[in-house]
Amino acid sequence: MTNNTELLRFTTAGSVDDGKSTLIGRLLYDSKSIYQDQYDQIKETSERRGEEGVNLALLTDGLKSEREQGITIDVAYRYFSTPKRKFIIADTPGHTQYTRNMVTGASTANVALILVDARHGVVDQTRRHAIIASLLQIPHIVVCINKMDLVDYSQEAYDKIQESFEGFAAKLDVKDVHFIPISALKGDNVVNRSDQTPWYEGPTLMYYLENVHIASDHNFIDQRFPVQFVIRPYSDEFHDFRGYAGRLAGGVMKKGDDVTLLPSGFTTKIKTIHGADGEQDEAFPPQSITIELEEDFDLSRGDMIVRANNQPEVTQDIDVMMCWFDNTKALKEKGKFALQHTTQNVRCVVKEIRYKLDINTLHRLQDDKEIKMNDIARVSLRVTKPLFIDSYRQNRITGSIILIDEVTNNTVAAGMII
């Protein structure tokens, strides 16, 4: 019950029947995050539907049509905490619009939970989830081999799945993969250690989530400060105050640092850093701060403050891995869109679709340039004015973009800069 707990965001992915909702229900229930009135409500609903026992999966169904159809349509966010950490679950559905939802949940996650049914092993869906986790650079992956109770807690079944996943993951850009044999339904190795799996010596899922090292998931090396908003009080007390507000996207910023302003290229020093609790000597991601510079230059939203000797690439041509979200039309070459990158709003044209990625096999389909909803493709874009970019691998904030349809105003694609 202290204030010094860390925040861990994780995403769950699984197909319709692999017990994802049950696992989330189990985490919430065993960590005592389900309230009595919520429990009573789902118990009553389970009984009315004639289901056996209390269906914990109902906890994650929010919308009327989801309850009617027994499916999850949209990303749902769930919260629970233990004395060590506070957790945010982005629960993403595994079927329709799966890529769109998974990518959305994955974009801010520290950890991806991938569920595998112990009876079926690694299937297409598992590979798809792993590819997306790798594309979105989720730092940690946990493969939960679920329904161990239905394979008699067999170590052989577990080993076979681990081997098969590792064989496939070798082709991916994933750093940290863990395997845990669980039964979400019975509770084995979720919060409490199971006595059915004496051959398993690793942590329970909850222990893993509470202890995985996430402090270095941000980039603390390359200073990047996109100017979000300029604060001018125009009051007697702060007559000449000109503060640049924003959220530090990378690096550690210290008072007195020599900095370069982009795009102008002027150099100056950091005079003061105002944080949420007043002045501070240094700032680090993901803090929201307001800074004053030694000298006043013309600097506004969309500009960036960086270290003189460590600058992002400044360019109008970017290459991205793009996930297409729009179900009303396909992505085409020469298409024009609004583009958001950090705090910049520009326009772009699709110069070239280089290839489509087969999301089950990782094959590059160079002859298939029909990019429809849920497809992932490598695309070259030309933008109307220079952006200050890093590769997504280096920085998830300065390396990501979204595309917006200028007629419907819908967000139609997400891109990771290569």
Partner 1 sequence: MDYNLSHIKELEAESIFIMREVAAQFERPALMFSGGKDSILMVHLAHKAFYPAKIPFPLLHVDTGHNFPETIAYRDSLVEKLGAKLIVGSVDEAIESGLVTEEKGFNASRNMLQIAVLLDALEKGKYDAALGGARRDEEKARAKERFFSHRDEFGQWDPKNQRPELWNLFNGRKNMGEHFRIFPISNWTELDVWQYLAAEEVELPSLYFAHERDVFEREGALLADCEFISKKSDEIVKKEMVRCRTIGDMTCTGVWRSTATTVEDIIEEIATTRMTERGGRTDDKRSETAMEDRKKEGYF
Query: Which of positions 346-375 make contact with partner 1 (CB under 8 A)?
Result: none
Task: For the CB of residue 393, give the shortest distance to partner 1 in the complex, in Å.
Answer: 14
Q: Which residues inside 107-126 make contact with partner 1, applying CB under 8 A?
A: 107-108
Task: For the CB of residue 174, give the shortest distance to partner 1 in the complex, in Å.
Answer: 19
Judge contact between 275 and 289, C-beta under 8 A: yes
Judge contact between 185 and 19, C-beta under 8 A: yes
328 is an interface residue for partner 1 by CB under 8 A: no
Helix spans in 271-410 (H): none
Stretch in the footprint of partner 1 (CB under 8 A) among 98-106, 122-130, 258-266, 308-316: 98-106
242 is an interface residue for partner 1 by CB under 8 A: no
Q: By CB neighbour count within 10 A (0-12 exposed, 13-18 middle, 19+ buried), where does 51 fall?
A: middle
Paired residues of 352 in beta bridges: 380
d(CA 366, CA 256): 50
Binder to partner 1 among 235, 236, 240, 295 (CB under 8 A)? 235
Nearest CA to 383 out of 319, 325, 330 is that of 319
The smaller minimum CB distance to partner 1, of residues 14 and 250, is found at 250
391 is an interface residue for partner 1 by CB under 8 A: no
5 is an interface residue for partner 1 by CB under 8 A: yes
The smaller minimum CB distance to partner 1, of residues 76 and 348, is found at 76
Q: What is the identity of the amino acid at 373?
A: M
Q: Are strands 140-146 and 176-181 parallel, antiparallel or unpaired?
A: parallel
In sequence order, what are the residues at sequence separation of 6 or more whose Cβ sits closer than 8 angstroms to the Cβ of residue 239?
233
Stretch in the footprint of partner 1 (CB under 8 A) among 202-210, 232-240, 260-268, 381-389: 232-240
Task: For the CB of residue 228, give the shortest distance to partner 1 in the complex, in Å.
Answer: 5
Nearest-5° angle of CA 278, CA 398, CA 314?
115
- The gap from C-alpha 153 to its chain's centroid, in whole angstroms, comes to 32
Task: For the CB of residue 78, give the shortest distance to partner 1 in the complex, in Å.
Answer: 7
Stretch in the footprint of partner 1 (CB under 8 A) among 83-91, 148-156, 304-312, 364-372: 83-91
Q: Which residues inside 245-304 make contact with partner 1, applying CB under 8 A?
A: 245-247, 249, 252, 274, 276, 284-288, 290, 301
Task: For the CB of residue 303, give the shortest distance to partner 1 in the complex, in Å.
Answer: 13
Q: Are strands 85-91 and 6-13 parallel, antiparallel or unpaired?
A: parallel
Distant-in-sequence contacts of 272-281, Cβ < 8 A, 24+ apart: 274/243, 281/254, 281/255
Q: Which residues inside 157-196 make contact with partner 1, applying CB under 8 A?
A: none
318 is an interface residue for partner 1 by CB under 8 A: no
The smaller minimum CB distance to partner 1, of residues 42 and 262, is found at 42
The smaller minimum CB distance to partner 1, of residues 70 and 167, is found at 70
The smaller minimum CB distance to partner 1, of residues 199 and 229, is found at 229
Task: For the CB of residue 157, give the shortest distance to partner 1 in the complex, in Å.
Answer: 34
- Sign, CA dihedral 297-298-299-303, equals negative
